[in-house]
Chains A and B, each alone.
Chain A
């Protein structure tokens, strides 16, 4: 496998995972907002903050109201993490390795790109329209994942896709959980138990985890249980620990993965040492930051081992027509 292709596969998977999770985050936040009492300190700026985009956002927008945040997260190509940008990048990346993936893959990612280009404007025309479009983004993205799982050899190329997908997914899960630590930060006492339950329910729903949580943990939704579940449950596919397990599986197959494996073990051990009972929001936020940093260390190790042999040449726009 060429280093350049491996890197493109890895980033393609990350972009798609990010697009899907951003869609999930927006949909669940919209739901949660409807249930919050007026005095709760929560606004769309929280979403921007947990996505790690507040600096870039402030460069372009004075105020974080729903319209500007939604536009920024879905449509704004100046934001490299916007859904349209992620999908465009994933599609552009896919061009460079069409030969290693099943050809239906290209048709679907191209279809997703054409769909979001056609429909992105609808997401600013009311919450109903927005929900529908984002849901379709999630569905189409799921169908791409399914196609790869079912129709692609689980070869080295597949491992890089899986690697990118799970590192990104674990990171996004911590960010979606972090929305709640942000909302609770200032006005801890104000928020009633019922509201808290709603908030955590929203988090679970954003990750399609509500049903699984109730089946495996219990009917009562409370913060410590949710955080525990989303970070350390070994069986739920969007939990951080589950993602780390998948990353471990990839590294076990890839050659020369000792350094990345070491970074993975560090992340794992730290996660296992975290205690979630009676968790103060500020501690939760620090925990999540730590997990994100550990995921970053795994990414760095992967990049150094597999991608650095290929030094990216300066972008060239030499246009030579063929005969």
Chain B
């Protein structure tokens, strides 16, 4: 069966699996060979089986709609995204380089602020930062590392260049879906799986555990690690419980924890209070500690920041790490890499215009119909303007927003992000996608093998977020030639 239809290409986007000649790229050849050996109808049948398995396994995310929380099955496309190992190794080195620089930057900002004094990073960006926490000044956490878990979004433009689109340093999510996707594929496509030499992904929970255990204030004893979740109403609750399960950690809510006068954190157990050494928090800074941040938070733990400052508990990511998770700060990362590491960035940034600078703002305002405009501190694809697709009224509204608060906006060219074949009905069609690898840092560095591929399931759509109609694919790093 010939899977790739002759009229496959819809746009001039780079396709991850299929070359311009309409033939599979080298790394994807074994995959296509085994897919094409399947009987007609088998693909669609397996897809239905996958959907049923997802429902049965309860792999869901929660959306809040019409006043009720609804469990949605995690949309999954069964055609994997393939990346050649040689290319991946270069990306992996770039991810580690980037997180290293980001952590040096955060540690610097909360301490000597050398980078500001040396004129590399402008003071006004720091002053306008919503995620800079005064409460964290003068602290230097273990290893000087603030962001222990980073989800870096990568995209590929039509010329094949891979760019970093953003660094998620607060509570990046999605890694559980990366792990589950692989399980699903192995369960349902063992024969396809055997045809390629695919690197495993399943050591992530162990790596995450070891990264967290590194932060324990108590030497020697096996540290008590807890995943702090806002609870079952959070869209990523599935992931919180999944990671706790995989790591053998406790899954706790704020109300399970208490900070005593000795500045230690305890959890409420059936035999009284038990000390917690490390908290992997999946709650934003704002809600983390009503004593230090938002006093109305019912999700957090009063005194947590105090315990952390006293060195009695490890927190990942550290409070305040979100200062580098800002789309304006993002534009300075290549400079940070040069400044702190004396190296050239391995993975480039998407070219960006910062509206805080008069000349760049004028350019943005004049080219709103070509650019993507992003607010500094939103996530999940909210609050963005995609210029070429927006109405004149929307563009006018954004022009006003930019003029009102230039520090809060940046703009980038509208990339034609790459596509990969996706099963639509019983045919393959190109759909746009990105890649979110997860990078860990404590005393050492680790990056997932590949990451979570998010795919925009609607034809032509560029928005891959699960809250906005995105799905995902298994991501294969295979031994073979680079594209």
Contacts and interface: CB of A to CB of B under 8 A. Distances in A.
Interface string A93-114: 0011111100100110011001
Interface string B222-257: 000000001111111100011011000111111110
Given A106-B58, A256-B271, A323-B379, A99 B244 contact: yes
B42 interface: no
A322 B231 contact: no
A318 B298 contact: yes
Interface string A300-323: 000001100111111011111111
Given A313-B298, A320-B234, A323-B151, A4 B380 contact: no
B272 interface: yes
B230 A320 contact: yes
A99 B271 CA distance: 20
Given A1-B270, A255-B270, A309-B272, A323 B170 contact: yes
B171 A99 contact: no
A321 B468 CA distance: 12
A28 to B, nearest CB: 31
Interface in A111-134: 111, 114
B284 A255 contact: no
Given A110-B57, A310-B268, A316 B256 contact: no
B107 to A, nearest CB: 21
Contacts of A305: 270
Contacts of B287: 318, 320
Given A2-B252, A309-B268, A310-B256, A318 B241 contact: no
A98 B245 contact: yes
Given A107-B57, A323-B170, A323-B379, A4 B284 contact: no
B172 A2 contact: no
A259 to B, nearest CB: 13
B255 A323 contact: no
B230 A4 contact: no
Contacts of B283: 320
A310 B253 CA distance: 11
A164 B55 CA distance: 28
Interface in B257-306: 267-272, 282-284, 287, 298-299
Interface residues on B, range: 35 or more
A3 interface: yes
B177 to A, nearest CB: 12
Nearest to B226: A2
A98 B298 contact: no
Contact of B379 (A98, A110, A321): A321
Given A95-B237, A107-B56, A319 B64 contact: yes
B272 to A, nearest CB: 7
Contacts of A96: 232, 241, 251
Given A107-B57, A111-B56, A323 B256 contact: no
A4 B253 contact: yes
B241 A3 contact: no
Contacts of B161: none
B173 interface: yes
Contacts of A106: 57-58
Contacts of A309: 268-270, 272
Contacts of A97: 241, 251
A303 B234 CA distance: 28
B349 interface: no
A318 B270 contact: no
Q: Which 6 residue pairs across A and B have the least CB separation, nearest first?
A: A99-B245, A99-B244, A322-B173, A323-B379, A323-B168, A98-B241
Interface of A: 1-6, 92, 95-100, 103, 106-107, 110-111, 114, 156, 254-256, 305-306, 309-314, 316-323
Interface of B: 55-58, 64, 69, 151, 168, 170-173, 230-237, 241-242, 244-245, 249-256, 267-272, 282-284, 287, 298-299, 325, 379-380, 467
Given A95-B237, A107-B56, A305-B270, 9 more contacts: A2-B269, A96-B232, A96-B241, A100-B245, A309-B272, A320-B230, A321-B379, A322-B173, A323-B151
6 contacts: A2-B252, A95-B241, A98-B241, A98-B245, A99-B249, A321-B380
